[in-house]
């Protein structure tokens, strides 16, 4: 029953309202407390990352227990059994424990959570910064794109005007400029002239003196400089007061002039020329020049400068190329003229060679004949003078002709084997008469190791020795003359630029001619070898001579890969002429000098040799036939190449064909004969008879398969030699 106890009796009937409210509140608190963890669990499960699960569990436990406590509280409003009180106490105790634990845990957690917040703020700031930078980069990239586009436009042309015009247009477009102008320096360099503008079609021919401070300021730096809109370079339009002029920027554009590229001019790098580019923002727009825009302008200015310099280089190289082409044309003409001149000279020489010598010989021969007839002393004197003069003239002509050919390089040595000792003796025999008359004893010393049979150009060597010894005799009035010949090794007396090295089958012959005559002034020695130079005055010249002798000798010596020089101690002390020439050592000792004459006389008799002669010219045909018949051959003749092909057989050993007729390809027949006779031993030998035996003719003959070439008209000896050589060796190329 209702005992009065010390426990608090819920005054249910009296405070029923309060109780009811408490009851309800507790109930709701319990519900809330139970639902919060559920919500938490739900949302955490949803989110993938939540680092504080343990805390959650704790928190959840705390809340659940609190809720449990409040729930259990519901039962304590009415009388409750001890179990309920026990459960309540347990719940409370647990709650207390957990909440304390949670409280303790939170001490650790909350700073972390707070710092998360800080980090979040930090990241937000960073993101904002990055956004800003992105914006900047994007702007820069835009700028870069603009620059690239501009550059591409500017550099896509090499024409100066287009470059400048395009620059202004593109800049105007990119930067949305109101006006853009370019001032170029005038020729004098003292003023700047308005050359190009963007908007105005026909700019007024403005000039501005170059020494303005604002201009100097701009020219002084490579950066874009903001200038006042009122400065003379910026005042391009008539100013009316309404406008608030936009900001103006000016930049310099270096100009490279053509003269900078010419190396031999004085270097003008210090006085650079600049053009001025002025850019105006639209008025009344309150736009400002941004840094990246200024940079853009500077970059463009540089590019323009480069493009202009390229254009200048191109102009220059075009000019140089045109100049070169002109020069080439001129050179070509000059070369052709020179060639024509040389050809004319050679033609002239060729004619002179024969035609002029003939009358000379006639004069000389007839004068000699005349000498042998009965003459009065006066007549004899006259005839002798004629003879002497004509001999002189003949020698002169020969010298000049020889020298011309030598200088051409067209003279070639005619090598042959000859007896060196005999040559020297012959020379001496030729000179002896004159020397005896002048009472000049001549001695000849031949070194014991001097080879007897050598290979070289006998005629020319004799000419050289004769010339030197002759000079010695000519210019000596008394004394003796000694001629020494020896084989030389490297000798320190030779001029320093020439070294003598005897090679295997060659040796160097040294000839020294010493006289005790007039001598030569050492200063005159270099002149000796020049053409037409005489050391003595005309009055003292006792004998004739063109002064060419030594020049010719020198050329011959050079052709023989040698050297010639003269030593003299002075006037009146005599002189020594020395020359070295390269000669070959002959292995065989031949009796005669002509190697073409065979040692065995087997083929001298050509009895019964069957040959074929093809010649369109009846007279030539007959003569050639007569020649061959005289040699004993059996000769058949034909007068055309068709007939020749028909008649030719393997019995014919040699076919002589005339290839003189111009315009007709006589050489074809050689090819046809080759075709006809496939076996080499059956084919007859082919010899061409032609009017000239120059190199080109010989090459042509060789290319058409001919075995030999003969110059018409052929002499008997020549024909004999040719035939024997041909039959012996089956090939022959010789010139007459």
Partner 1 sequence: MDAHVAQLQMQYRNYILSLYQQGFLDDQFTELKSLQDDGSPDFVAEVLSLFFDDCVKLVGNMARALDQTGTVDFSQVGANVHQLKGSSSSVGAKRVKGLCINFKELCEAKNYEGCVRCLQQVDIEYKTLKAKLQDMFNLEKQIVQAGGIVPQVDIN
Binding site for partner 1 (CB under 8 A): 355, 358, 361-362, 365-366, 369, 616-620, 622-624, 626-627, 629-630, 658, 660-663, 691, 712-716
Interacting residues of 197 by C-beta distance below 8 A, sequence separation 6+: 168, 179, 180, 181, 182, 203, 236
Q: Give the DSSP letter string of 624-683.
A: HHHHHHHTT-EEEEESSHHHHHHH--TT-SEEEEE--STTS-THHHHHHHHHH--STTTS
* Burial class for 506, CB neighbours closer than 10 Å (0-12, 13-18, 19+): middle
The CB-of-713 to partner 1 minimum distance in angstroms stands at 4
- Asked if 320 and 268 touch (Cβ cutoff 8 Å), the reply is no
The CB-of-333 to partner 1 minimum distance in angstroms stands at 23
Residue 24 or 664 with smaller CB distance to partner 1: 664
Residue 162 or 718 with smaller CB distance to partner 1: 718
Q: Is the peptide bond before 713 cis (omega within 30 degrees of 0)?
A: yes
Helix, strand, or coil here: 613? strand
Residue the block writes with tokens 């020297």: 424
Residue 174 or 624 with smaller CB distance to partner 1: 624
Q: What is the Cα–Cα distance from 721 to 707, expressed in whole angstroms?
A: 15
Residue 205 or 717 with smaller CB distance to partner 1: 717
Residue 69 or 666 with smaller CB distance to partner 1: 666
Does 436 appear as a known binding residue?
no
Q: What is the Cα–Cα distance from 80 to 706, expressed in whole angstroms?
A: 151
The CB-of-359 to partner 1 minimum distance in angstroms stands at 8
DSSP designation for 524: G
Sign of CA dihedral 45, 46, 48, 50: negative
The CB-of-620 to partner 1 minimum distance in angstroms stands at 4
Does 432 appear as a known binding residue?
no
Q: How far is CA 363 from the centre of its chain?
A: 61
- Asked if 501 and 464 touch (Cβ cutoff 8 Å), the reply is no
Closest by CA to 637, choosing from 619, 614, 616, is 614
Residue 360 or 430 with smaller CB distance to partner 1: 360
Does 531 appear as a known binding residue?
yes
Task: At 608, list the tokens.
Answer: 């019964």
The torsion region of residue 190 among left (phi > 0), alpha (psi -120 to 50) and beta comes to: alpha
The CB-of-362 to partner 1 minimum distance in angstroms stands at 5
Task: At 14, list the tokens.
Answer: 């009296």
The CB-of-616 to partner 1 minimum distance in angstroms stands at 8
Residue 153 or 616 with smaller CB distance to partner 1: 616
The CB-of-686 to partner 1 minimum distance in angstroms stands at 20
Does 116 appear as a known binding residue?
no
Q: What is the Cα–Cα distance from 332 to 399, expressed in whole angstroms?
A: 33
Q: Give the DSSP letter string of 129-173.
A: HHHHHHHHHHHHHHHHHHHHHHHHHHHT---HHHHHHHHHHHHHH
Closest by CA to 179, choosing from 322, 281, 301, is 281
Does 550 appear as a known binding residue?
yes
The CB-of-727 to partner 1 minimum distance in angstroms stands at 21
Closest by CA to 581, choosing from 497, 511, 513, is 511
Q: What is the Cα–Cα distance from 15 to 13, expressed in whole angstroms?
A: 6
Q: What is the Cα–Cα distance from 32 to 35, expressed in whole angstroms?
A: 5
Interacting residues of 65 by C-beta distance below 8 A, sequence separation 6+: 91, 94, 95, 98, 99
Closest by CA to 659, choosing from 697, 702, 629, is 697
The CB-of-400 to partner 1 minimum distance in angstroms stands at 22
Q: What is the Cα–Cα distance from 633 to 655, expressed in whole angstroms?
A: 12
Residue 47 or 373 with smaller CB distance to partner 1: 373
Task: Determine how many CB atoms are found less than 10 A away from the CB of residue 263.
Answer: 6
Residue 137 or 362 with smaller CB distance to partner 1: 362
The CB-of-618 to partner 1 minimum distance in angstroms stands at 6
Does 472 appear as a known binding residue?
yes
Does 439 appear as a known binding residue?
no
Residue 65 or 722 with smaller CB distance to partner 1: 722
3-state class percentages of the chain: helix first, strand second, coil last, to nearest 5: 50, 15, 35
DSSP designation for 396: H
The CB-of-661 to partner 1 minimum distance in angstroms stands at 7
Q: What is the Cα–Cα distance from 465 to 422, expressed in whole angstroms?
A: 13
The CB-of-361 to partner 1 minimum distance in angstroms stands at 8
As separate numbers, helices (DSSP H) first and strands (DSSP E) second, the chain gives 17, 18
The CB-of-660 to partner 1 minimum distance in angstroms stands at 6
The CB-of-657 to partner 1 minimum distance in angstroms stands at 14
Does 328 appear as a known binding residue?
no
Q: What is the Cα–Cα distance from 649 to 639, expressed in whole angstroms?
A: 16
Q: What is the Cα–Cα distance from 451 to 418, expressed in whole angstroms?
A: 11
List binding-site positions for Cu cation: 66, 70
List binding-site positions for ADP: 471-474, 515, 531, 546, 550
List binding-site positions: 66, 70, 471-474, 515, 531, 546, 550
């Amino acid at each position: 029953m209702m005992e009065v106890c010390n426990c608090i009796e819920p005054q249910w009937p009296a405070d029923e309202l309060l109780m009811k409210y408490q009851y309800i509140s507790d109930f709701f608190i319990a519900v809330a407390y139970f639902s919060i963890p559920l919500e938490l669990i739900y949302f955490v499960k949803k989110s993938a990352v939540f680092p504080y699960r343990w805390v959650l569990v704790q928190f959840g436990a705390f809340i659940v227990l609190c809720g449990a406590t409040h729930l259990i509280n519901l039962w304590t409003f009415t009388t409750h059994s001890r179990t309920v009180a026990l459960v309540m106490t347990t719940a409370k105790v647990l709650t207390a424990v957990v909440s304390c634990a949670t409280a303790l845990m939170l001490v650790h957690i909350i700073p972390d959570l707070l710092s998360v917040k800080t980090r979040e703020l930090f990241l937000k700031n960073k993101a904002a910064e990055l956004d800003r930078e992105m914006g900047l980069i994007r702007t820069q990239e835009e700028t870069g794109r603009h620059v690239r586009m501009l550059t591409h436009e500017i550099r896509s042309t090499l024409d100066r005007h287009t470059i400048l015009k395009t620059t202004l247009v593109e800049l105007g477009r990119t930067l949305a400029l109101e006006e853009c102008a370019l001032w170029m320096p005038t020729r004098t360099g003292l003023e700047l002239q308005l050359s190009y503008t963007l908007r105005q079609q026909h700019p007024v021919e403005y000039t501005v003196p170059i020494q303005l401070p604002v201009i100097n300021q701009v020219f002084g730096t490579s950066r874009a400089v903001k200038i006042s809109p009122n400065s003379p370079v910026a005042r391009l339009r008539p100013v009316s007061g309404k406008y608030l002029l936009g900001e103006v920027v000016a930049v310099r554009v270096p100009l490279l002039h053509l003269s900078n590229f010419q190396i031999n001019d004085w270097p003008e790098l210090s006085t650079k020329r600049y053009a001025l580019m002025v850019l105006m923002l639209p008025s009344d727009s309150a736009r400002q020049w941004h840094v990246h825009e200024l940079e853009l302008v500077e970059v463009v200015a540089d590019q323009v400068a480069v493009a202009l310099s390229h254009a200048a280089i191109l102009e220059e190289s075009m000019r140089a190329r045109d100049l070169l082409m002109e020069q080439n044309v001129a050179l070509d003409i000059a070369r052709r003229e020179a060639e024509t001149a040389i050809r004319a000279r050679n033609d002239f020489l060729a004619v002179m060679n024969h035609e002029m010598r003939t009358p000379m010989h006639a004069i000389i021969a007839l004068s000699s004949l005349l000498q042998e007839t009965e003459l009065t002393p006066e007549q004899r004197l006259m005839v002798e003078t004629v003879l002497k003069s004509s001999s002189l003239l003949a020698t002169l002509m020969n010298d000049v002709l020889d020298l011309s050919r030598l200088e051409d390089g067209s003279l070639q040595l005619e090598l042959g084997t000859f007896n060196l000792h005999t040559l020297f003796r012959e020379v001496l025999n030729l000179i002896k008469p004159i020397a005896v008359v002048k009472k000049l004893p001549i001695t000849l010393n031949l070194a014991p190791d001097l080879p007897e049979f050598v290979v070289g150009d006998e005629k020319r060597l004799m000419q050289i020795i004769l010339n030197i010894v002759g000079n010695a005799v000519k210019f000596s009035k008394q004394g003796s003359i000694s001629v020494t010949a020896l084989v030389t090794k490297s000798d320190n007396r030779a001029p320093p630029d020439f070294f003598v090295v005897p090679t295997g089958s060659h040796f160097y012959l040294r000839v020294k001619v010493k006289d005790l005559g007039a001598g030569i002034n050492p200063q005159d020695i270099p002149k000796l070898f020049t053409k037409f130079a005489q050391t003595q005055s005309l009055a003292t010249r006792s004998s004739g001579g063109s002064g060419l002798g030594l020049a010719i000798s020198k050329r011959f010596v050079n052709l023989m890969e040698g050297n010639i020089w003269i030593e003299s101690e002075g006037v009146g002390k005599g002189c020594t002429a020395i020359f070295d020439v390269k000669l070959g050592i002959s292995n065989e000792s031949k009796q005669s000098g002509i190697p073409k004459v065979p040692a065995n006389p087997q083929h001298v008799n050509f009895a019964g040799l069957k040959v074929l002669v093809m010649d369109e010219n009846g007279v030539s045909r007959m003569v050639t036939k007569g020649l061959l018949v005289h040699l004993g051959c059996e000769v058949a003749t034909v007068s055309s190449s068709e007939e020749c092909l028909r008649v030719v057989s393997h019995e014919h050993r040699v076919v002589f064909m005339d290839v003189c007729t111009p315009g007709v390809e006589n050489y074809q027949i050689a090819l046809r004969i080759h075709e006809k006779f496939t076996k080499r031993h059956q084919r007859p030998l082919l010899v061409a008879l032609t009017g000239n035996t120059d190199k080109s003719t010989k090459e042509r003959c060789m290319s058409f398969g001919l075995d030999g070439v003969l110059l018409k008209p052929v002499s008997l000896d020549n024909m004999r030699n040719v035939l024997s050589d041909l039959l012996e060796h089956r090939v022959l190329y010789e010139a007459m």
